[in-house]
Structure 1
């Protein structure tokens, strides 16, 4: 039965299964290490950054005005974002789309905007600086790959919350995982 496997109504797979989430968590950890490495350069802890394809372009991108717009360098913010992705992806079991909508929505909000910002920063590289950064491109690719699966799980939680609303139950309690609709899996 679908409910026994945690499959949301109308779905043919469980978007909260470990098979769906583990690749995102692993990618987030890889993204964290790359972004942390780039942040070490931006914080001047290391004096050089690895760049196999574009000569001095990584230095140009990582020291650009865009990378320093905020009080914290963009790579450090990216590293924090990837940790948030990994942690929110790892919390909860395979039924978390209905038992922990709050963490699933936090997960989606952590993954989605990071992916958007990564794409924006990649577009700015050649447009503003006529340069490319290999590791920046790698982290952007990681961010984009993570979006689809994270949004699937968030969609399942949002659909669950709509079913709660349609049943006249407390959306607030359901959001925080205090109860399912009239004790039923929905």
Structure 2
């Protein structure tokens, strides 16, 4: 018995059904590295923007975990990143919020690379889930922006970078998410 058939038998007789619509490694590599669709261009931007947001949250993580003692701020009035990132809200989930945000930005890289160029058509739940995740993160970022000004009466430069990154990821994920939702509805 061929290896593929044995593996398929273990999956309840669906030899390749578990990855139906998902490209193999070669097709995925070609799509991600050389594909020129608008969706792929936006997914690449999601990865780049997420790296930027993640970098800002990496610095804050170092501060919140006590690895560094100071967060440099821009020489503008109203900026006090240390105050904002040491607030009760920043530690309200029984852990510091920056490592959580860093993890979320890192997951965006995996989500940007998940599925081929036609994932909105072949596996519409992936871009819909990506857009839903991005919507929640954009909403939370907006709420935190309001809290930053109202409660702390200070701005955090690193948090503003992360907020802008979350808003950009949301905007970039919408076109593929809407297209996927439309295709999923058309199927049912």
TM range (shorter): 0.7 to 0.9
Tell me if the contact between 1:27 and 1:146 (Cα under 8 Å) persists in the aligned partners: yes
**TM-score with structure 1 setting the length:** 0.76
1:111 maps to: 134
1:79 maps to: 102
2:47 maps to: 25
Larger radius of gyration: 2
- Gaps spanning 5+ residues in structure 2: where? 1-35
Number of equivalenced pairs: 152
1:145 maps to: 168
**For residues 113 and 52 of structure 2, what CA distance do their matches in structure 1 show?**
15
Equivalent position to 1:58, from 73, 81, 84:
81
**For residues 54 and 46 of structure 1, what CA distance do their matches in structure 2 show?**
23
Tell me if the contact between 1:115 and 1:147 (Cα under 8 Å) persists in the aligned partners: yes
Q: Within the alignment, does 1:43 sit opposite 2:65 as a pair?
A: yes
Tell me if the contact between 2:73 and 2:79 (Cα under 8 Å) persists in the aligned partners: yes
Give the C-alpha shift of residue 56 in structure 1.
Answer: 6.5
Equivalent position to 2:152, from 129, 138, 154:
129
